[in-house]
Chain A
């Protein structure tokens, strides 16, 4: 019973991280129509940034969070403007943009990963921040996990409310549904896409800082995070924020179960299995409408 509760709580915390990162990816892919294969590298980069603030500057990773989120926003906005806008202009249709963006961000993946390898090397990194045991209903969790979860929920909630209730948010959601029609409603689609891409980058950076508080990470791990975010987005239905949230939590619980009951080496296999099952049974996602 305690084991079940333990798995559930740890799984939900991990799933909260996945949901947050998937929320960012669904903005980049669902709104800006950029299939970003270097997404996970930016998560790891933010994790290294937090590592550096804590170990190098002896400051709380949460301060790192406050710095890195706006930084990531600006950086991703610049990437969209400089690197991706030419591809958007060149693409004759959505499929072409998809192929081009996959290729361009695949190249970017190796550049970012290469930079991190040069600076931090290939070994695993971890730091001990707030590793104070906390007892919840007989289950022991460390405080850093709970804090990370709380921050993730807060950030996710702010992003969700902003998208639902502000003018910019409405514009972004309109572009997600149909860029051509959004244009006809006097929405600057290019600007909205750039904003959404940047916002997605900011969210993944936040995810990176939070993940670094309780997981070990290395420069080569970005691909796994990209994979998981992609899978969560597809499971939830592209562009569907509530879908990404539920699918993220589900993935977290499934992975934790496999790691605790089976073998930690099989978590990615479990992720893939879940992905395949969803693809075969519900190709438009668990909660997805047909969006293309």
Chain B
């Protein structure tokens, strides 16, 4: 703990004490308002825990909140209060896991749609259960919990929520989620298990929401599914988090403060027009403040940064014996198109292999198959003797296969050093903290990006973005590096630098497969070339023989020149 953070800690403690003492002197109305503030703070913060970094919009707050409230309605008289809360938390976890496991593997839009209907679905299921099995739709809640007690329970829950958010931001998990929000494909290829990261945080967030519903339940004496699963709640929570800014831990709080007051006024004075006014407020926020209040503040106070560079030599790695990669009768077709057709080749450790061929010959598909972006229809890919065909990309990345993309995929709004940290923190032997910072620095200086660590990745020039992508790939400590047209689009000076850089990687023991159209680079770098045409291998050998092969010339230039 540094000396500069001490005043903040003291301030935080004072604020917590004042908030905790509030019920002792508050009037009934003030206490009710205080409870509203607290529970919306918890819900909006919990919402932003997951939806902020991942940018997966969850519209299911009401489903979890209602689930908690209903658990209390059913169980309150059957067991002591702590057990009721524990059961509610379990309900939240189970529902979150079911929803998460079925939708979080897929693209974000399915998740949104699913959560959009979730509270309606659960409401219908509960109603069906109540009508057909329980016999009546509503339930009375007879639990003796004072409003003060509810207030204090909510306060504890709020503190737990903030603590969880603070902790997650400091863990590798927090970084992983931000990377997912930036570019999910790049995240997988940087060694991040995206599904488990999303699932973990979604469950944490949903459990907090469920507990909030459970704590709040005694505020109603009578509850039915329509009251418990009110879709308006999901809506209010999203507005608050967005107004404040979902990207920062205390962002949602900034939205809760004005909006709870506004909702209080609106529902008191215009009960019939509440939903219309709410909708208008929401639309205005989406248009005027897309990044929330926090985003507005950040725009005006962007902090200057200066980092010293510390170049560390990368130790050469020992060369193991036997083929590093063994591709055997690999096939991949898209509909009727055979992009890769019965392709076999091996790569020895320490080689630089040029994978060349006319456009559309299947080169990038081969890289996608090796790195796991695609699964083959048939055939084998063995890496260090282990079958990797069809494995999840993050697993392949952790085994030691790193790649760059034909169209550069940096994480645009994250800092240059965070781009590299993402891979450092999720490789097979992860590093974190100061050690990772040092490693990131040395990787950046290795690719020629010293002093640019604090810039945002989208502020870099094209060549620098390519360098950054390479640094991120190297951060995985790969044995095999897949470069997809990494040298394309460079001017002659940059090309010279690029070739020297790739050669230095080979000298440090890396094996490289290079998809490339720049023939000068192929000739000077590659010991061997594999030429593809229409998904098949048509030549395999040293560049000078492979490039003068009759079939290769025919494939590139047509029959007349062969």
Contacts and interface: CB of A to CB of B under 8 A. Distances in A.
Nearest to A268: B124
B121 A110 contact: no
A104 interface: yes
Contact of B102 (A86, A109, A268, A280): A280
B496 to A, nearest CB: 33
Q: Is the interface of B mostly helix, strand, loop or mixed?
A: helix
A234 B113 contact: yes
Q: How large is the interface on B (under 10, 10 to 19, 20 to 34, 35 or more residues)?
A: 35 or more
Contact of A110 (B107, B132, B282): B282
**Range, interface on chain A:** 35 or more
Contacts of A112: 279
B120 A268 contact: yes
A87 B283 CA distance: 11
Interface string A24-61: 00000000000101000000000000000000000000
B279 A104 contact: no
Given A103-B57, A223-B116, A234-B113, A108 B279 contact: yes
A230 interface: yes
Interface stretch (A154-162, A183-191, A194-202, A271-279): A271-279
A166 B231 CA distance: 42
B279 A111 contact: yes
Nearest to A267: B124
A118 interface: yes
A90 B291 CA distance: 13
Interface stretch (B267-275, B339-347, B442-450, B499-507): B267-275
A292 interface: yes
B227 interface: no
A272 B109 contact: no
Interface string A253-269: 00000000001011011
A100 B290 contact: yes
B112 A102 contact: yes
A35 B120 CA distance: 19
Contacts of A63: none
A154 B282 CA distance: 38
Nearest to A264: B128
Given A37-B116, A107-B279, A226-B116, A90 B290 contact: yes
A100 B112 CA distance: 12
A269 B126 CA distance: 11
Mostly helix, strand, loop or mixed at chain A's interface? Answer: helix
Contacts of A272: 114, 117, 121
Given A230-B113, A265-B131, A269-B124, A109 B108 contact: no
Contacts of A111: 275-276, 279-280, 283
Given A104-B287, A113-B275, A275-B114, 11 more contacts: A98-B109, A103-B57, A104-B283, A106-B238, A107-B286, A110-B275, A111-B283, A114-B276, A223-B120, A265-B124, A266-B124
28 contacts: A83-B283, A90-B290, A99-B57, A103-B57, A103-B238, A104-B283, A108-B279, A110-B276, A110-B278, A111-B276, A111-B279, A114-B274, A114-B277, A115-B276, A118-B276, A223-B116, A227-B113, A227-B117, A265-B131, A265-B132, A266-B125, A268-B120, A268-B121, A269-B125, A275-B114, A279-B103, A279-B110, A280-B102
Interface of B: 55, 57, 59, 102-103, 106-110, 112-114, 116-117, 120-121, 124-125, 127-128, 131-132, 231-232, 235, 238, 242, 272-283, 286-287, 290, 335
